[in-house]
Amino acid sequence: MPKMTFIEKDGNHKEVDAPVGLSVLEIAHRNGIDMEGACEGALACSTCHVIVHKKWFKKLDEPTEDEEDMLDLAFGLTKTSRLGCQIVMSEELDGLVVQLPEQVTNWMG
């Protein structure tokens, strides 16, 4: 089974199983990672914003225009920012590393 690592807000690294076909948001929720996902993956918020490690960012599909629009609302946006609900695990992403931003903005609440 593929693995991935979350770098939590406190800097703690947590390696977890990352089943193929699940989004990073779903994987976070299954493993008790503090990722909000207020819209439950409907691409209507930016609360699942993650910063993808540079090594892995190039392996991801290009973000859609809708994802880019939501990322514009994210706190602490970086060049390797993505939404966790839009990154779907595959065998090629085995070892993926993402960092949680220090803060998230929930425009839905």
- What is the mean pLDDT of the segment spanning 65-94? 95
pLDDT above 60 for 61: yes
Average pLDDT of the residues of the chain? 93
pLDDT above 90 for 102: no
* Backbone CA torsion sign across 82, 83, 84, 90: negative
- What is the mean pLDDT of the segment spanning 3-31? 97
- What is the mean pLDDT of the segment spanning 49-56? 96
Residue that is written with structure tokens 């960092």 in the block: 99
pLDDT above 50 for 109: no
**pTM (2 d.p.):** 0.93
